[in-house]
Structure 1
Amino acid sequence: MAYRAGGYRVAVIGATGNVGREMLSTLAERKFPVSEVIALASSRSAGREVSFGEDQVLKVRDLETFDFTGVDIALSSPGAKVSATHSPRAAAAGCVVIDNTSHFRMDRDVPLVVPEVNPQAIAGYTKRHIIANPNCSTIQMVVALKPLHDAFGIKRVVVSTYQSVSGAGKDGMDELFNQTKGIYVNQPPADFQQKFTKQIAFNVIPHIDIFMDDGATKEEWKMAAETCKILDPAIKVHANCARVPVFVGHAEYVNIETEKPMSEEAARRALKGGEGVIIVDHRANEGYVTPAECSGEDAVYVSRIRKDTTVENGLSFWCVSDNLRKGAALNAVQIAEVLARDYLK
């Protein structure tokens, strides 16, 4: 199918935030067919200017008073509480909302979509006119898991994440910058500690989101629950999530156990055939990809592929991805591309 002649009216909700700006940039880079782009944010940001492409400047409009009538698609990343109010309001006006917050992800009537993994789920948008974008750490993992699951049937996943501060928004990035700078001039890190529970500069914090009754954090629960909804409800996932002093780019060590036997060579072949996956894996210095190298890139990079001999059919690998792009903005725009091409007339 083809895009609609004349393009689409697209709103970006939360346009002044890290992800909102990345959404605007990604729409322009991928030449999404727009007739109009509308930048929306809170009343505090109304009147500010944001860039769209190389030569367009958009004036931010007030989300609270904006009428979504006639808007085709909204890419929404304003925070869960704001989205809980305004995404249904936009949907009621006939707009299809692609929501990047956590609020709608586990709603049974809202598709949770990674286009390389379950694009067919987009068809379910008609129930609520809302499509959910998964958690950033889940997105990159399921992109890498999909070809392995198709080939060998994944039974169990144990993942340890090393998540950058940009996952906590601009405030998280500012806190890392200010603490790091302060340490070099003998200023206590606590002077700049507001976003994170402990010092983030030169440190690792094994705590993302709130603690739950079973001792897991909500971030760890999200990875398990979302993987089951997106990929296969039979897969068992145990996640360990940590925040690290990196500005952009999430890293994950992933260990899987499969139903079918697999050699390392067969696993590599499966991964090479995976959509959105690039393997960079040489058993030598610099033969792997790190978060610093994936910043600004679209792919999920897989390295350090090796057998786990402690279980019958085990494999471990390292994967990294830009959490602001594939983990948020790019995934949302890719959903919009499928939605516009295959469903919106």
Structure 2
Amino acid sequence: MENKKLYNVAVVGVTGAVGQKMLETLERRDFPVGELRPLASARSAGQQITFKGKAYTVQEATPEAFEGIDFALFSAGGSISEKLAPAAVERGAVVIDNTSAFRMLPEVPLVVPEVNAHMISQHRGIIANPNCSTIQMVVALKPIHDAYGIERIIVSTYQAVSGSGQAAIDELREQTRAVLDGKPAEPKVLPVKSLPKHHQIAFNAIPQIDVFEENGFTKEEMKMVNETRKIFGTDEIQVTPTCVRVPVFFGHSESVFIETKKPFDLAEVRSLLESAPGVTVVDDLPEQAYPMAIDSAGHFDTYVGRIRRDLFHPRGLNMWIVSDNVLKGAALNAVQIAEHMVRSK
């Protein structure tokens, strides 16, 4: 980055799947880190992590641990964020929080830099990262919304187990091995670890992510509804999601249908997507080229393909959107917010 000033960065939840990706992303993008302060729970304190070839000892996340910190990247669960984020802000840090704790508070910007970076400057110490499935969708829909307006979104997601953390990754691996060995799978984590009943994820698809609400939609689905509207700054967009957990380790996939306000030109839509920041179009049907979760893993971009006009709705557009859920869906988005702030200083 052009700005040569160094910034002290704390990563809260550094031993988790997203925390590890935050470290990796800070290093891959050469973020100007002065002091790195790796933080986690008391039970994880004392572990060793590596950043830019140097070993660090994980410290316990306490209010005092944020003294002298410029940016605090949180990914340790909503209850930890609710407890420690205000303490970090009091000590002068800007908190970029990956949980749902602050997303819908009116005073907290909910930011995807490619979509609404202008909201970053309105923060009061805390900036929220949206949900992973929301992030990749709005990145792809932003240029279309700007050009034609969007009235309605119908989205079905096919979400990787890493969205539920390391325990779900381990469960998929263990269940797959058990089933292939002719042994019974033992579900203990999915769809929701805290619930009394669990379902096998290996060789299966579970149409539940998070708990159900009274309206029959899950919390994950309602996040997509509410967050999309907040990010686009309008309550007029109708969003109908169905979120499904699939036996994939990394990379969320989404089948998205939208109804635009104004008629669109399909060639122009493709051109808009090809020039959109953070978007790569992979859409060559004769070559069977389209985005797949396995190809998105480890990459920063959001991939879009299967772009086609709807058969019946004159302003209907269908597409397939794929992105690495722990990178663009979490760690990368947080680092991009910090990068934007650094460039603005």
- TM-score surpassing 0.5? yes
2:51 & 2:314 partners in 1: Cα distance? 51
2:189 & 2:299 partners in 1: Cα distance? 30
Paired residues of 1:11 and 1:74 also in contact (CA < 8 A): yes
Partner residue of 1:173 out of 169, 174, 177: 169
What TM-score, normalized by structure 2, do the two folds share?
0.95
> Hey, what does 1:36 align to over in structure 2?
35
Paired residues of 1:147 and 1:273 also in contact (CA < 8 A): no
| Alignment-mate amino acid for residue 101 of structure 2 | H
Structure 2 residue ranges without an equivalent (≥5): 192-197
> Hey, what does 2:96 align to over in structure 1?
98
SS of the equivalent of 1:159 reads strand
Paired residues of 2:207 and 2:244 also in contact (CA < 8 A): yes
Partner residue of 1:326 out of 317, 325, 328: 328
Q: Offset of 1:193 from its aligned partner?
A: 2.6
Q: Offset of 1:64 from its aligned partner?
A: 2.9
| Alignment-mate amino acid for residue 201 of structure 2 | I
Structure 1 residue ranges without an equivalent (≥5): none
| Alignment-mate amino acid for residue 87 of structure 1 | A
Q: Deviations over 1:137-188 (max 9, x none)?
A: 0000000000000111111100000000000000010110011111122221
Paired residues of 1:2 and 1:342 also in contact (CA < 8 A): no
Q: Offset of 1:124 from its aligned partner?
A: 1.3
| Greater displacement, 288-297 / 227-236 | 227-236
| Alignment-mate amino acid for residue 94 of structure 2 | V
> Hey, what does 1:308 align to over in structure 2?
310
1:80 aligned onto 2:78: yes
Q: Deviations over 1:207-233 (max 9, x none)?
A: 001101110001010001000000131
2:189 & 2:284 partners in 1: Cα distance? 40
Q: Offset of 1:34 from its aligned partner?
A: 1.2
SS of the equivalent of 2:335 reads helix
Counting matched residue pairs gives 338
Q: Offset of 1:65 from its aligned partner?
A: 6.0
- Percent identity reads 50
1:151 & 1:25 partners in 2: Cα distance? 35
| Alignment-mate amino acid for residue 173 of structure 2 | F
Paired residues of 2:63 and 2:87 also in contact (CA < 8 A): no
Q: Deviations over 1:254-296 (max 9, x none)?
A: 1000011112112111111211111010112531120001110
> Hey, what does 2:194 align to over in structure 1?
none
> Hey, what does 1:204 align to over in structure 2?
205
SS of the equivalent of 1:157 reads strand
> Hey, what does 2:67 align to over in structure 1?
69
SS of the equivalent of 1:82 reads helix
2:267 & 2:190 partners in 1: Cα distance? 44
| Alpha carbons of structure 1 residues 266 and 65: separation in structure 2 relative to 1, 3 Å | closer
Q: Offset of 1:192 from its aligned partner?
A: 4.1
> Hey, what does 1:264 align to over in structure 2?
266
1:259 & 1:160 partners in 2: Cα distance? 21
| Alignment-mate amino acid for residue 120 of structure 1 | H
Paired residues of 2:190 and 2:200 also in contact (CA < 8 A): no
| Alignment-mate amino acid for residue 15 of structure 1 | V
Moved over 2 A (4+): 64-67, 191-197
1:120 & 1:18 partners in 2: Cα distance? 29
| Alignment-mate amino acid for residue 49 of structure 1 | Q
Partner residue of 2:131 out of 110, 135, 141: 135
SS of the equivalent of 2:25 reads helix
Pairing of 1:1-345 with structure 2 (within 5 A): 3=3, 5-53=4-52, 55-64=53-62, 66-125=64-123, 127=124, 129-189=125-185, 191-196=186-191, 197-233=198-234, 234-343=236-345
SS of the equivalent of 1:16 reads coil
What TM-score, normalized by structure 1, do the two folds share?
0.95
Paired residues of 1:10 and 1:36 also in contact (CA < 8 A): yes
| Alpha carbons of structure 1 residues 153 and 65: separation in structure 2 relative to 1, 3 Å | closer
| Alignment-mate amino acid for residue 128 of structure 2 | A
